[in-house]
Structure 1
Amino acid sequence: MDGMTAASVYEDMHLPVLSMGGIVILLLVLLPAAAVIGHALGRRQRQRTLAAGREVDKVTGETSLGAILGILGLLLAFSFGNALTLAQTRKSTVIDEAAALGTVFLRADYLAEPGRTELREAIYAYTQTRVVPDASQMSDAHGVRDFLETTLTAQAALWPATLAATAAPVPPPTATFVASAMNDALDAHLYRMQTFAVPVADITQGMVLAAALASLFLLGNRSGMHGRALSWRTFMFSGFLFVVMVTIVDVQRSSAGLVKTDQSPLLVTLFDMEQALR
């Protein structure tokens, strides 16, 4: 496969639908709005109930509210744990790939010229493409595709360069020594690609949002039914939910937001390669 054909294989990769900024704005508006709407509908229902000469149930909505809050806590715990696992996996895959690329670059020293220099330069060029650009270039499927096309084009040159550099009269043990390291470096690409996709399906993330909105709606509705105004406690709960949900999304993204994947191992490997090529 060439770079373009190989990149097209990843077209079905599940990427985030909304940007980090869009999610922040959406949650900032929807969460408190759910409490306000619930309170308004609760007050209206209270007026209708009193106008009909009936008393308002003092424990109305408590069972539903408790059940929704329990479901919300479960979903948040699952989502947060999943996000932390993905973040750790991203960190590990970056370290493993940097180590694999550094190893094959060093093992190329056992080869003779001119194949040695050509192979080392090909490894260096490929390593440069493995550093993920900033969030502005990876915010949509088009940016990810451009990144893949660039890195897969550089990757396509590695194995031919390895075969040329390890051809006879290179001893078979030396050729195997270098080729096995190159195989590990190529495999590292597959492990990193699994961390680009969204870790949780959109429908699951929608369930978390729905549970949060339902809990705030019922909380506001219960206050309205009892004739109480929305207190600061309701909005504090809304703000805390906002922080937790944004943190989960932030940790899930590798190059957007505040929590970004540390690419120092790759940068250090690049620096060592530059020094060796000089």
Structure 2
Amino acid sequence: MNFQELLDSLPIGIFFVAYAIVAATLSETGYRFGCWWQDHTPEEKEGPTGMIVGSLLALMAFLLAIATGMAADRFDTRRGLVLAEANSIGTTYLRAGYLPEPASSEIRSLLREYIPLRIIETANLADVRVRIARSAELQTKLWSIAEDLARATPESDVLALFIDSLNETLDLHETRVVAGIYARVPETILLLLFFGSILTLGMVGYNAGLTRRRSPVTAFVMIVVLGAVITLVVDLDRPRDGFLKVNQQPLIDLQEQVGVLVPANPPE
């Protein structure tokens, strides 16, 4: 199990608590070690520890900004793809009404089965993969029907419109799969963000130990705020669960509408 899989296995609330505990422990350890070092080496000068700690905090702020931007971009992409897929499936469903029977009814029936598979509200990756596999089976059936119609009526403009929207629907399926499962914040950045922030907090505690000046309230606030921002990055990067979820309402609305959609004119 890699680091990203480990993060995905933890509920987002437990991740925040675990991070806060580890960060607080290392910060306290750094403070005690700083006090011990100062007691045992009183003749040594303090050195530029404070400046180094300030540089580390600046680097962590820079890394947090990069990671948050990457996670937010991926979240927005997944959200936009849900709307795009709902529009594409809806258009395909409408244009199927202008095809000859029984192809028209068969295609609409397959799309009615297809839409619920695209509403991903579960955190279970195994269930998601089952939905993806079943979606691929239905896509094969839909494309097979389109191929038969194309051979029978190759000059049909309406059929060309239908095939165009169906092709877009199939492409969006793969795009959503890639965006939801594979397009994640790189594991290296998450590792650097997690361990770098904890070590930085340890250095903050160490510097406080050297000077024997610290504020427990300030340390607590820093740990909570930093933990909250890192938790936000992890939450944004999760495609299926957490506090921030991609709204599936466009597909849910489409699922409710497909039984009553009766087009008057072929969509352009």
TM-score (norm 1): 0.84
Q: Does residue 254 of the first structure (1) align with residue 239 of the second (2)?
A: yes
Q: Does residue 134 of the first structure (1) align with residue 122 of the second (2)?
A: yes
Spell out, residue by residue over 1:193-241, the C-alpha distance to the aligned partner (whole angstroms, 9 max, x if none).
2211252221211111122112110110111112235521011101110
Q: Does residue 40 of the first structure (1) align with residue 32 of the second (2)?
A: yes
Give unpaired runs (5+ residues) of structure 1.
1-13
In 2, the alpha carbon distance for the partners of 1:170 and 1:152 equals 25
Matches within 5 A, 1:1-150: 16-18=5-7, 19-21=9-11, 23-50=15-42, 54=43, 57=46, 60-135=48-123, 137-138=124-125, 142-150=126-134
In 1, the alpha carbon distance for the partners of 2:259 and 2:25 equals 55
Counterpart code for 2:6: V
How many residues align? The count is: 256
2:255 aligns with: 270
In 2, the alpha carbon distance for the partners of 1:31 and 1:37 equals 10
2:152 aligns with: 168
1:5 aligns with: none
Following superposition, the deviation at residue 143 of structure 1 comes to 4.0
More divergent stretch after superposition (268-277 vs 239-248): 268-277
In 1, the alpha carbon distance for the partners of 2:158 and 2:245 equals 39
Residues 169, 151 of structure 1: alpha-carbon distance in 2 compared, 3 angstrom cutoff: closer
What secondary structure, in the 3-state scheme, does the structure 1 residue paired with 2:259 have?
helix
1:178 aligns with: 162
TM-score (norm 2): 0.87
Contact (CA 8 Å) 1:129, 1:154: kept in 2 or not?
A: no
In 1, the alpha carbon distance for the partners of 2:54 and 2:117 equals 50
Residues 198, 174 of structure 1: alpha-carbon distance in 2 compared, 3 angstrom cutoff: closer
In 1, the alpha carbon distance for the partners of 2:64 and 2:129 equals 31
2:194 aligns with: 209
Give unpaired runs (5+ residues) of structure 2.
263-268
What's the C-alpha RMSD, in Å, of the aligned pairs?
Answer: 2.2
Residues 134, 119 of structure 1: alpha-carbon distance in 2 compared, 3 angstrom cutoff: same
In 1, the alpha carbon distance for the partners of 2:155 and 2:161 equals 10
Counterpart code for 1:40: R
In 2, the alpha carbon distance for the partners of 1:160 and 1:275 equals 26
Contact (CA 8 Å) 1:16, 1:198: kept in 2 or not?
A: no
More divergent stretch after superposition (79-88 vs 126-135): 126-135
Contact (CA 8 Å) 2:94, 2:261: kept in 1 or not?
A: no
Contact (CA 8 Å) 1:27, 1:242: kept in 2 or not?
A: yes
Following superposition, the deviation at residue 56 of structure 1 comes to 5.1
Following superposition, the deviation at residue 166 of structure 1 comes to 5.1
Spell out, residue by residue over 1:81-117, the C-alpha distance to the aligned partner (whole angstroms, 9 max, x if none).
1111111111111111111100010001111211110
Contact (CA 8 Å) 1:95, 1:265: kept in 2 or not?
A: yes
Q: Percent identity between the aligned chains? A: 23
* Stretches (4+) displaced over 3 A: 14-17, 164-167
Q: Does residue 188 of the first structure (1) align with residue 172 of the second (2)?
A: yes
Contact (CA 8 Å) 1:115, 1:164: kept in 2 or not?
A: no
Following superposition, the deviation at residue 252 of structure 1 comes to 1.4
